[in-house]
Amino acid sequence: MSEITIYTEAVKEIKNAILQSRNRVANIANREMLSLYYNVGQFISENSRSGKWGTGAIETISEQLQAELPGVRGFSPMNIKYTRAFYEQWSPTFEPIRHLPSVERPYNSDYESNRHLASDDLESSGFHLIIRQLPTVELPI
């Protein structure tokens, strides 16, 4: 086997490792963003629909978020309302798994979504909420 063939095989293996890693990073980022939007939507829904917040609360929250996190996009009043709608539409589809905040959740390669995500820091009834998508066969039609 020539040196060029050996190097070609090495390049293929390295390229495959790079592409797989990039794919995993994109999947983790997407999962984190969906988790964040779902949890923000839940928080907004529970507080705005219960009457705890008055008219204009979402606009005020949006303004304050934009002031405190300059450069962070996606939290305009309309987008915050979209996160609420996202939660309200999909909450029957997801099975919540509640964990005590102090409980360390080890990484489980068989079920990666049990990992602690930054969006878990939005609490629901004193517990952290992790979203576990139901298997496809359990989804409503």
Higher pLDDT, 51 or 111: 51
The SS3 call for residue 8 is: helix
Give 60-98 pLDDT, tens digit per residue. Answer: 999 999 999 988 888 999 999 999 999 999 988 876 544
Does pLDDT of 28 surpass 50? yes
Report whether 140 contacts 92 (CB < 8 A). Answer: yes
Q: Is 37 exposed, middle or buried (0-12, 13-18, 19+ CB in 10 A)?
A: buried
Quick: pLDDT tens for 117-128.
444 455 444 444
Confidence of residue 132 (pLDDT cuts 50, 70, 90): low
What mean pLDDT do residues 27-49 have? 92
Instruction: Please give the Cα distance from 118 to 97 (Å, whole number).
Output: 16
Domain ranges of the chain: 3-138
Written as six digits, the tokens of 74 are: 């996606």
